[in-house]
Amino acid sequence: MINLPKTQLQVHPLCLGGNVFGWSAPKEESFKILDHYFENGGNFVDTADVYSEWHEGNSGGESESIIGEWMKSRGNRSQMVIGTKVSKLSTRKGLSAKNILAACEDSLRRLQTEYIDIYYSHEDDPSVSMEETLTAYQNLISAGKVRYIAASQHAAARLELALQISNTNNLPSYIALQDHYNLVHREPFESEQAKVLKSHEITMIPFFGLATGFLTGKYQPGVNVESIRAKSVEKYQNQKGWQIVSVLDEIAKSLHTSISAVALAWLRAHPQVSAPIASARTVTQLVEIMDVVQLNQDQISRLNQASS
């Protein structure tokens, strides 16, 4: 377990992504994945009210509902750290105080819990003052419905502004940033957002840690992969992408682990990163990403060079 900075939360080094629950992982399979994760020391699950509104027949909240039902059936809510988000669901858009308070009640009901450990602003909302947004979170924290707040998909300047407003007005402060970061997508995190996190001593919880599956090694030159995400990785299938996968493969073999585990270990090696998010549609996939390994400086340098 690792400590999340500026919190009393101890979490597993892999944050299990819940975006697949109720979408590419049906309820029964989702329960198997959650069981394996929990039984092997996992306690940190990421979801959002919008998961998975995009799937035909869904309206949003499916992932939260599955997680809530699973926690209730296992009686383990107090052992879990649950992060969920507000602002992207089509029926609960934005970061107005009214919307945040209503969305939180919806999420609590679906999760079948009295509190959310980390409540994220899922995306920035420039149409609402940050004071209004942060005051709404203050009310939820005071009511015991939220423990900590965090930001997702906030540019460095906007995150800095939010943190300054929290400090100036004695309002709750974001304890983490969630954003896109991995070996094939290193900017703008490294040159912009990381500086803000370092100066405020908060952490990064990167999503797309495996580049929607490209950094698992299943994609290889000339290999046709049957996956609902195959189209989204085409942009990585070039000389640079294949070079990164090749180096990952060499390191994985030397450590007797999976390519996925090495890609996630590279993320953890960044001083501003705590627990990267990765999802699994099957228990087999979960086993690959749950192996927490440490890289030496030479291995990190090789991956840095391949992905620079």
In a domain, 62, yes or no: yes
In a domain, 226, yes or no: no
In a domain, 223, yes or no: no
Task: Give me the catalytic one of 51, 137, 181, 236.
Answer: 51
For 123-180, the pLDDT digits (tens) are: 999 999 999 999 999 999 999 999 999 999 999 999 999 999 999 999 999 999 999 9
In a domain, 307, yes or no: no
CATH number at residue 12: 3.20.20.100
Q: Is the pTM of this model over 0.95?
A: yes
In a domain, 306, yes or no: no
In a domain, 242, yes or no: no
In a domain, 284, yes or no: yes
Mean pLDDT in consecutive groups of 10 residues from the start of the chain, 308 residues: 97 98 97 98 98 96 98 98 98 98 98 98 98 98 98 98 98 98 98 98 98 92 71 89 97 98 98 97 96 98 97
The residue segments making up the domain with residue 133 are 2-213+258-294
For 210-234, the pLDDT digits (tens) are: 999 999 998 888 777 777 666 778 8
Per the annotation, the verdict on 51 as an active-site residue is yes
In a domain, 102, yes or no: yes
Q: How many domains does the chain divide into? A: 1
DSSP the chain: -EEPTTSS-EE-SSEEE-TTBTTTB-HHHHHHHHHHHHHTT--EEE--TTTTTTSTT--S-HHHHHHHHHHHHHT-GGG-EEEEEEB-STTSBS--HHHHHHHHHHHHHHHT-S-EEEEEE-S--TTS-HHHHHHHHHHHHHTTSEEEEEEES--HHHHHHHHHHHHHHT---EEEEE-B-BTTB-TTIIIIIHHHHHHHT-EE--BSTTGGGGGGS---TT-----TTGGGGGGG-SHHHHHHHHHHHHHHHHHTS-HHHHHHHHHHTSTTB---EE--SSHHHHHHHH------HHHHHHHHHHH-
